[in-house]
């Protein structure tokens, strides 16, 4: 009899321990699930920087030979990437996607958006950029400059580049490995959103981000 009661007490204790164990697991799990469910999804498609980090105020030469500083582009959203005009695949893909983003903007937003392509290739010149960049969109801006200025600018934007072996027999026809991020800089000149190369085909969503950074959000899309 005593043993029986002892057994009852033990099974009660086991039940209590099991219940406590379930509670220990379930309460935080539910709490996390609720917090995820309640947290509003970020409206930004790219990697958004909520802090204010001024983008480096470069001073480079555009494809018409004029000096352009980032500061000159205040009031505009700037989509900025690095590349080189002999790039047969990555850069045309990037600029082609950015051209599609630009086409999707309403005219008022286009007026306040600049796509900037900075060449990391010392073989490039204003002339070679003029033949290349406006091909994708005549309002896009190609920039070049002395290697030291390009190096400083690239570092300030977290971009990396280095010469890579030539594809053909001509050694001067070398390729360049380079960063493929695109920055969206806000009208005040701050880093705002960063896009990976793989995100660039999502041109609708990038166009939404551009309008948002301009303070002219796109109208809600009908499902």
Partner 1 sequence: MNRFLCPLFLSASLVFAGDLKIEDAWIRAVPPSSKTTAAFMTIINKSDRPVLITGGTCPVAQEIRPMITTKQGNGVMGMALAESFAIPAKGKRVFEPGGDHLMLMNLTEVPKAGSTVPLVLTAESGGVKSHIHLDAPVR
Nearer to partner 1 among residue 111 and residue 177 (C-beta): 177
Residue corresponding to tokens 């033990």: 10
Terminal-residue alpha carbon distance, the chain: 70
The nearest distance, CB 34 to partner 1, in angstroms, is 35
C-alpha 116/C-alpha 62 separation (Å) is 9
C-alpha separations of 205 from 42, 123, 160, 184, 199 in Å? 12, 34, 26, 13, 9
C-alpha 130/C-alpha 65 separation (Å) is 10
Binding mask 1-40 for partner 1 (x = CB under 8 A): ----------------------------------------
Chain positions 71 to 100 lying near partner 1, rule: CB under 8 A, are 85-86, 88-90, 92-93, 96
Nearer to partner 1 among residue 58 and residue 132 (C-beta): 132
Q: Give yes or no for residue 132 binding partner 1 (CB under 8 A).
A: yes
CB within 8 A of 76, min separation 6: which ones? 112, 113, 114, 187
- For residues 201 and 98, the answer to whether their CB atoms sit within 8 Å is no
Question: Residues touching partner 1: how many (CB under 8 A)?
Answer: 29
- For residues 214 and 77, the answer to whether their CB atoms sit within 8 Å is yes
The region of 10-18, 143-151, 178-186, 208-216 touching partner 1 under the rule CB under 8 A is: 178-186
Nearer to partner 1 among residue 194 and residue 218 (C-beta): 194
Please name the helix (run of DSSP H) or strand (run of DSSP E) that holds residue 13, with its range, or none. Answer: helix 2-38
Q: Give yes or no for residue 183 binding partner 1 (CB under 8 A).
A: no
Nearer to partner 1 among residue 112 and residue 121 (C-beta): 121
Q: Give yes or no for residue 219 binding partner 1 (CB under 8 A).
A: no
Residues at the site binding partner 1, with contacts judged by CB under 8 A: 85-86, 88-90, 92-93, 96, 128, 131-132, 135, 160-161, 164-165, 167-168, 173, 175-181, 196-198
């Amino acid at each position: 009899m005593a043993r029986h009661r002892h057994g009852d007490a033990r099974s009660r204790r086991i039940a209590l321990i099991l219940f406590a164990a379930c509670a220990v697991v379930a309460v935080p799990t539910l709490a996390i699930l609720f917090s995820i469910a309640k947290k509003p999804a970020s409206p930004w498609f790219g990697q958004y920087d909520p802090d204010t980090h001024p983008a480096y105020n470069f001073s480079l030469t555009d494809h018409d030979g004029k000096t352009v500083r980032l500061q000159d582009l205040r009031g505009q959203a700037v989509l900025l990437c690095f590349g080189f005009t002999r790039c047969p695949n990555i850069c045309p893909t990037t600029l082609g996607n950015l051209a599609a983003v630009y086409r999707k903007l309403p005219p008022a937003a286009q007026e306040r958006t600049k796509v900037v392509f900075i060449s990391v290739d010392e073989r490039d010149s204003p002339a070679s950029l003029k033949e290349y960049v406006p091909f994708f969109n005549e309002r896009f801006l190609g920039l070049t400059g002395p290697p030291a200025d390009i190096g400083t600018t690239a570092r300030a934007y977290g971009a990396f580049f280095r010469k890579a072996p030539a594809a053909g027999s001509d050694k001067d026809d070398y390729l360049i490995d380079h960063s493929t991020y695109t920055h969206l800089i806000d009208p005040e000149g701050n880093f705002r959103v960063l896009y990976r190369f793989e995100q660039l085909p999502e041109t609708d969503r990038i166009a939404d981000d551009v309008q948002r950074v301009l303070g002219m959000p796109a109208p809600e899309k009908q499902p």
